[in-house]
Structure 1
Amino acid sequence: MASRSVAGGHTLPPDPIYLDFERSDGDPTQQPTNTKEVVDKDGQVNYMKPVGPDDSWDINWRSQIARKIAERLGKPPGKKYVLRSWPDGYRLYCHHKGKQSAPRQDLYLMGSIYAKRFRSVPEFVPHAIWLMTDPTLDRQNCECKYCAKVPQRVISENLGYKARSTTLHPTPTPSPGVRMHRIGRDRERQSPRPGPNGYATVRRTPKPKPEKGPTQVMLQERYADLQAMYVDTNTELRRWFRIGELVWCALDPPIHSAEGSITFWPGLVDECTFKAETVPRPKSPSIYSADGEFDVDMEDGTSSVQVVTQQLGDRRSVIKGGVPYPITPHPGSSKSVTTESPLPWIVHQKTVYKVKLLGVNHDYVAIETQVLPYQGYAPSRELLEALENVPIERITSKPEEIATFNPCPAEAETDVVVNGERFAEATAPYTLAIEIASGIATCWTPTDEWEFKMMAVTQSQTRYQGLWLGSERIWTDDLVRLKAARGQIAPQGSAQILAPSGPSKSTIAELGFDEQTDPEVLKSHGARDRGVFMHLEALFVVSDVPDPDGSGVHAECRASGMLYELADEDWDEPQSSSHAAAAAAAAEPLNAQDAWAAAGLSTPTRRRNPDEYPELHVGQPFMSAPSPLKQPPVTSTTLRQVTTPVRDRNRQKARKTTTTKRNDDGPNIQLSHPKMNGVPLPPAPRGFRFRPILPEGFEVVVSLALVSGRYYPRLLAHPLLRPIVRDMQGNANEAATRLDGHHLFALEGILPGFFNASEATRWKPGRSAMVRDAAAERSAAVARSWEVRRQQAREGNAYAAAAAAAVAAVEPIRTDLDPSQGQDVVDVDVDVGMHSMLEEPSEPRIGSIGIDVQPGPPVQDVTVTVFT
């Protein structure tokens, strides 16, 4: 590569106007250390020579950069602007490389913590403008190529430099007719306003413009997670869990006490590996799974005889690059070739998880049968009461003792288990662990953003390949559960949404004669009371969402994709319904209107239970906390139903825009995700199939507040859940009355998502921030709670001692007196035991300890009823 121009001859202009940096992202440790000339044996040099402030090169750079800053800040033209100095921690260097007599020389500005080096004036100008104008130093507001991930050619053209120009000499300013398009974000920050309860609408699926290749590289981590979830497999259990997800690990052995036992410990998945092992071929299956099929451990699982361990990922590694091929459906499991004398062994593949346990400094290596999703378990009432009843003097508050506790030692001492000492030792770390887990589950953030370019040059949108939603890692192309029941979404059908499917002929045949003619009974055995799924096609941010009070607008994170319901596997689709819906959808345009009405969401009038009103908790808008959301490009025209995001949640003044009609059936470049072949749907629960309820070419757009979480295929067959499922099957009526197990059935979509939904409403910049903040907040809260209990115990002991002294001073009771004479008998009954840590002792639950956090906008709930 040819060296850039470093010609000298530049001096300070007369009467310069200096510009000063009031803030900096510089760090002297980012500057090079090889600043001395060293000549090797071949006469070559390779070092960074510092450039002084009085050097011609330094003056040239500072003059050019100051001129562009002055233009952007609207300062009077015709003045001689110069940077007085570089931002703190910055310095200009000249890279000398090659023969000592005539080395190649390149200028670099170094010192930023966000960019290793700036190679030219045009590269640093947008970064300098950001340092000059953004007092928060929010990197998301910077427009340079390293922060905004935008090609330098586009940035240079927007700054007025000639296309493909690499000169360091001043370039003419753009003519008045050239419009400067904004790439970055709005820096105006105002106080947040509460948004609407939730958003949902149906629109035509944007048709991608044919291109020669992908526009965005698919993350390898995302590819591996989707492939593991959706391909056909003969393994016992799928690799449900992903790096960084919050899960429960089954302890072996559990930590027992007389009142309750700690059987699961929360943790974050750190690594996933596949392990294959050979086992003797069983003579006959003897154990059945929860759904009636043989356990895989009792079957011939695979035809492979190789022992392979495949590393799937480590959250500490940085994965770069994409996958060379798209996800395609697995051809399906093939039957093993039977022979007259089968091999005496079979091979099983299992997933092994390395989990970082919360609250302690220990990892736990667990096989797939020892791990449950965080949404699939909650500590029992008995366990929480047992933790509450541990005397406060036996609960340690020393961080080092809490951190060194090992929930799964190699050998547990029998006498410790018997007298409950180990349970007392586990009380502090386990309480802290479940509180940290509860804190993590309240946070969310989109991840892995990529720039989505519109057909018009002025249009762009930030989209995301993934999302952290509470405990779960969600990728685009995942099948996610929505909070609404199927009967709440167009229960009678609409122009864009099909009516819920009814029971199949085989289901009707199993009903009694009277029930077969009862319309309500038939509907209740159809898809009406089941969950709704969305095949997540896109994650993006929409700006200009009106505030409820009409005072301004805010940004909102939304998702789009096809909707599915759970229909009976052998249910026959009426020929007329799909054709009629498609025809009506093609004839009827979609207008912007109330979100629920546009999506056909309604509130059924009939309750599931006369004394029960299930609640669809929408919660706060997902952009209620400050987050870096890109500013929409400045433009006078906007494509209909094409949204452009902003980089903050704060209220803005409403802007007037005009709309232009476009051909809905024509192609545009609004890609729902980085272009690739379609990802197949995961297997449906046994006995059901996924039925799309929107016409082909349409998708639904919903706010993330309506997303419950991930779908876990065949989760009810998990060995740890089989006893629970069998118990519910044996006591079906009682379980239905108590709503026992509804949270498990919701994870498979057999029941609506609101029975088991993520309530993450606190935005965080990343997963590490979620864990760090949750640990800090909940640790402080637990420490304060324990200190209050200790103080109460000390006061109770002091009162008991004083009362005992008073009793000792009382004259002994005369037994010869008649009770009718009125002799007083002192009876001291002092409560010096455990005081409740729970907000509601009658309803112990996780995350019940209050913490000192900043209050957000008031949560608005939407109460809905569900059909029976």
Structure 2
Amino acid sequence: MSQRRVNQSHGLPQHPAWLSVKDFPKSDGTDSQYPTALSEASVDESGSVNYYVPAQNDDSICIRWRKELGDALAKHRRLPANKPYVLSTLPKGYKIFVQNKGQPGAKIRQDIYLYGSKTVLKFRSIPEFIPHFLWLADVNKETCECKYCVRTSHRPRASTSRIAPAQPVIPPKEPRPLEQAGIFTAISYTRADDSGPQSLPSSRRTDDFVATMLPDRARDLDAVSNPKEGRMQRLFRKNELVWVVLEQPIMGPEGENIATWLGIVTDARTKTAPPHRNHGTTTLDVPSLTSSSTQAESSLHATNAPTWTAQQQFVYRIRFLCVCAEHSVDADHVIPFQAHRVSDTLRDALFAIQLHQPANIAVASTDFDFDPWASDAQWVDAVQPFLFAWEMGTRISHCWNLTDSWEKKISTTMIADTPVASTSTGVGMDSIANAYNAAALANNSYDSISARRNQRNIGNKTEVNFQGIWWGAERIWAGDLVRLMLPRSSLAPQGSADILPCAEPGPSSRQQLEQLGKKPSLYTSGIRGLFMLIDRIFLVERKADNNSRKQEARVAGQLYELVDEDWVDPEPRPFVQQGSHGLSAPPRPKRLPPAPVGYKFHAILRPQREMVFSVILLGGRYYPRILTHQYLHPIVRTEEGKLNLNANFLCALEGLSAGTFNYVEPIEYKKDREEIVSYANMKAIENVRAYKESRLRHEANTAMDTEVASDEEVDELAMDID
């Protein structure tokens, strides 16, 4: 669309025939798909002005779209052609935006786009949208014939609405090969290698199916892998459970305080802050997450910028859990669910109140009328809703589900009869000890893996793939770099035929260790975490103990370790970057997210290999530079700036310590995110009710025992008098 068309004037015809979209049998529109850069100060990575202006229903631009769409609908329905037709409104969830882009001070280009579809990022013209529009209007038409939707053989279920729906279904069309159980499954070739005999499974995926990448997924992956200069990264995603650090801690009578509250992210937008104009250091006083009486300080260094450069920060819209409150919260007040634990001191103070006043415990089926973000929030009003929110949040973190399924036909030519290692019971979620032991068994199997070459032809099969997964509090996509529960040292630390050995310290670290009299060989990358860049999430079938068929969820992709920034690979080799298996648009970030300060990521699988794991080994999301957050930095760093050796729980979020120190461990599968939240709320109510009844029974029994003891004392006194 051109600027000339934006400036053209379009009015309603005389005596139009109005057509309504209220009777449309289908609707795929949602406001969650709208662009977020709505401020005139918004700039992109090139320094250009780049923002969107929503058009109203009666604006000239909208009138033109409504007229032409009305004519198209009238022709489709074979209405009389002797009158002008106009849509009363655009379909539900759709809105026109005018993009304004250009260099500051120069002529701004204006382009018109239609946003709102859950499956199409945007429509660029009326003719482009008409086939999709008519599909929405046609009750008898199951498939859309617009240029975007014809790429798929069936429409994938989108997860861009408020809740991400999906439930795995195994196609019953043809028998599928059974795979044995194993949280550690195998290393497989990502592309057939004809240079010699293959010692590991090799699969070639057909190209007869293409699934459309969801807009939410594309935006979330781009946000962490391509941070825009001049603003912090958008770390959190829609419907994730997070901790909000309150501006004013809610102080208790004995010095304890409630400094955080759980909430669910409902939206994320940018806000423009005035550019910094000095080189000084700004000190912010913030409440501590580890002490009830002290405050942590963080120094934020200002940076110079041209006067026209806008500084942008993310603001999250967060619905506070179990209370009637929803607020826009700056990014520096939001931390991951996995980054905070309620202290024992606070827990004891909260339960002490409930212990002595069980009759006052409220078993609420609705949210409490309380706002923890308010400056005048009182401790006595906060105790019960906080306990409810804490219980509900814990329940959410125990649930998971796969989302946005699509089917893929695979031509599997050869497969190893004997998996590398196997001890898991699949998606039933074993303990961390079993997971760790399984990886250790797998590690001992590498040396003899080439001898296990008993292969057979199994033909074609259909594989159910998924674009994402809700993993406890977190949203994970195929294409994400995630933390694994295992330490790097648990996976072939000395190397194997398919895995590189743990990296030695870099020159700087080696020199420091030698000066301290320590052996550098004891400080390899094995002491840190292990990462996977997820290429695909999929289901397999395996034979259970009772010979029944059981579904198991797995992830596959390249593995990475953290090495010192000045580390030099002794055996540099090209690692082939494979594309997604049947997904349009990039299936993974164009580049890896930023590594922790002082480190870089290093791929540890040899060329054309991918690792396959059960989802049980997913430790959680990787949060780039989260340890520089002003509320976490004072915990992980000493006053001298050194890493706090007792902060492994937080360091694991960046992989500086093993995933065994901090991992998500869901144990219950639910059909979608909405069911997870509803289930968590129900369990919180049940548990609080059970606790109240238990305390009341205990109080009644104690009172009865006291009364009996008092009666016995009176009888003894009477005997003495006699």
- Under TM normalisation by the shorter chain, which class is it? 0.5 to 0.7
Is residue 234–residue 301 contact of structure 1 (8 Å, CA) maintained in 2? no
Task: Report if aligned partners of 2:363, 2:685 keep a CA contact under 8 Å in 1.
Answer: no
What is the aligned partner in structure 1 of residue 472 from structure 2?
A: 470
**In 1: Cα distance, 2:573 partner to 2:320 partner:** 50
Cα distance in 2 for partners of 1:485, 1:184 equals 33
Q: SS in structure 1 opposite 2:335?
A: strand
Does 2:403 correspond to 1:406? Answer: no
- Look up the match of 1:447: 403
Q: Which amino acid aligns with 1:480?
A: V
What is the rounded CA distance, in whole Å, between the counterparts of 2:641 and 2:305 in structure 1? 33
Instruction: Judge conservation of contact 1:541–1:555 (CA < 8 Å) in 2.
Output: yes
The AA in structure 2 aligned to 1:119 is N
Query: 1:356 and 2:319 equivalent?
Result: yes
Question: Measured at CA, do residues 507 and 796 of structure 1 come closer, stay the same or move farther in structure 2, by a change above 3 Å?
Answer: same
Report deviation, 1:460: 3.4
- Which of 527, 530, 534 in structure 2 is aligned with 1:529? 527
Q: What's the Cα RMSD here?
A: 4.4
| Distance change in 2, residues 1:374/1:525 (3 Å) | same
**C-alpha separation in 1, matches of 2:480 and 2:605:** 18
Flag the 1:747–1:451 CA change in 2: closer, same or farther, 3 A. Answer: same
TM-score (norm 2): 0.62
Q: Is residue 2:210 matched to residue 1:215?
A: yes
Output one character per residue of 1:152-201: Cα deviation in whole Å (capped at 9) or x when no partner: xxxxxxxxxxxxxxxxxxxxxxxxxxxxxxx973399xxxx998451332
Aligned partner of 2:534: which letter?
L
- Aligned to 1:403, what secondary structure does the other structure show? coil
Matched, 1:676 2:599: no
- 1:185 equivalent to 2:182? Answer no
Instruction: Structure 1: give runs of 5+ residues left out of the alignment.
Output: 1-39, 49-94, 101-114, 124-143, 150-182, 307-346, 413-421, 583-664, 815-822, 824-868
Do residues 561 (structure 1) and 561 (structure 2) align?
no
| Structure 1 residues 211 and 445: alpha-carbon distance in aligned structure 2, compared to 1, 3 A threshold | closer
Task: From 176, 179, 198, give the equivalent of 2:183.
Answer: 198
Amino acid at match of 2:376: E
Equivalent residue letter for 1:757: Y
| Higher normalized strand content (fraction of residues) | 2
2-structure distance, mates of 1:512, 1:426: 53
The match for 1:723 is: 634
Rounded Cα–Cα distance in structure 2 between residues aligned with 1:684 and 1:270: 28
- For the residue of structure 2 that corresponds to 1:251, the secondary structure is strand
Q: Which runs of 5+ in 2 are unaligned?
A: 1-14, 24-75, 82-135, 144-152, 159-168, 193-202, 287-296, 413-458
Equivalents in 1 of 2:593, 2:156: separation in Å?
A: 37
Residues 1:570 and 2:566 are matched in the alignment:
yes
Q: Secondary structure at the match of 2:313?
A: strand
Distance 1:717 1:269 in 2: 21
**Contact 2:270/2:315 (<8 A) preserved:** yes
Q: CA deviation at 1:711?
A: 0.5
The residue aligned with 2:165 is: none
**Aligned mates of 1:201, 1:750 — CA distance in 2:** 26
Which of 702, 705, 711 in structure 2 is aligned with 1:799? 705
| Per-residue CA distance 1:46-98 (angstroms, 9 max, x = gap) | 9x9xxxxxxxxxxxxxxxxxxxxxxxxxxxxxxxxxxxxxxxxxxxxxx9965
Q: Distance in 1 between matches of 2:585 and 2:209?
A: 5
Q: Which residue matches 1:317?
A: none
Structure 2 CA distance, aligned partners of 1:250 and 1:703?
34
Matched residue, 2:99: none
Q: CA deviation at 1:119?
A: 3.5
Aligned residue in 1 for 2:608: 697
Return the alpha-carbon distance in structure 2 between the equivalents of residues 384 and 729 of structure 1. 31
Distance 1:728 1:408 in 2: 30
Q: CA deviation at 1:578?
A: 4.8
Q: Is the 8 A contact 2:279 2:303 kept in 1?
A: no
Q: Distance in 2 between matches of 1:797 and 1:482?
A: 52
Map residues 89-168 of structure 1 onto 2, 5 A cutoff.
Answer: 98=79, 119=140
Task: Give the corresponding residue for 2:418.
Answer: none
Q: Which residue of 2 aligns with 1:714?
A: 625
Contact 1:273–1:353 at 8 Å: present in 2 too? yes
1:319-339 CA-to-partner distances (Å, cap 9, x unmatched) read xxxxxxxxxxxxxxxxxxxxx
Cα shift readout 1:612-671 (whole Å, capped 9, x = no counterpart): xxxxxxxxxxxxxxxxxxxxxxxxxxxxxxxxxxxxxxxxxxxxxxxxxxxxx9x99981
**1:428 paired residue among 368, 373, 384:** 384
Identity, % of aligned positions? 28
Instruction: Find out whether 1:375 has 2:338 as its counterpart.
Output: yes
Judge conservation of contact 2:186–2:611 (CA < 8 Å) in 1.
yes
Q: Distance in 2 between matches of 1:461 and 1:348?
A: 46
**Structure 1 residue 562 displacement after superposition:** 0.8
User: Relative to structure 1, is the Cα distance of residues 148 and 225 closer, same or farther in structure 2, using a 3 angstrom cutoff?
Assistant: closer
**Are the counterparts in 2 of residues 452 and 670 from structure 1 also a CA contact under 8 Å?**
no
> TM-score, normalising length from structure 1?
0.52
- 216-225 or 380-389: which moved more? 216-225
Q: Is the 8 A contact 1:251 1:263 kept in 2?
A: yes
In structure 2, which of residues 684, 688, 704 is the aligned counterpart of residue 782 of structure 1?
688
Matched residue, 1:240: 235
What is the letter of the counterpart of residue 364 of structure 1? H
Verify the 8 A CA contact 1:454 1:670 in the aligned structure 2. Answer: no
Q: 1:351 and 1:685 mapped to 2: Cα distance? A: 21
| TM-superposed deviation, 1:473 | 0.6
The C-alpha deviation readout for 1:571-625, integer Å capped at 9, x for no partner, is 11113x759xx9xxxxxxxxxxxxxxxxxxxxxxxxxxxxxxxxxxxxxxxxxxx
Inter-partner Cα distance in structure 1 for 2:230 and 2:400: 32
The answer to whether the 8 A contact 1:407-1:426 is kept is: yes
Given that 2:204 and 2:410 are in contact with CA atoms closer than 8 Å, whether structure 1 keeps it comes out as no
SS at match of 2:211: coil
SS at match of 1:248: strand
CA shift digits 1:263-308 (9 cap, x unpaired): 1111110111100111552342365999xxx9784322754736xx
CA–CA distance in structure 2, aligned partners of residues 668 and 571 of structure 1: 25
Matching residue of 2:648: 742
Contact conserved, 1:538 with 1:561, CA < 8 A, in 2?
yes
In the alignment, residue 676 of structure 1 is paired with which amino acid? P
Cα distance, 1:216 vs structure 2: 2.7
Identify if the C-alpha distance between structure 1 residues 147 and 511 changes in structure 2 by more than 3 Å, giving closer, same or farther. closer
Q: CA deviation at 1:203?
A: 1.1
| Structure 1, 686-695 or 787-796: larger mean CA deviation | 787-796
Deviation at 1:431, TM superposition (A): 1.1
Query: How big is the shift at 1:791?
Result: 2.2
Match of 1:490 among 492, 505, 511: 492
Give the aligned residue type for 2:331: E
Shift of 1:811: 4.2
1:397 pairs with 2:307: no
Deviation digits for residues 667-691 of structure 1 (CA, Å, limit 9, x no counterpart): 9998164453762101111111101
Q: Is the alpha carbon distance of 1:686 and 1:503 closer, same or farther for their aligned partners in structure 2, counting shifts above 3 Å? A: same
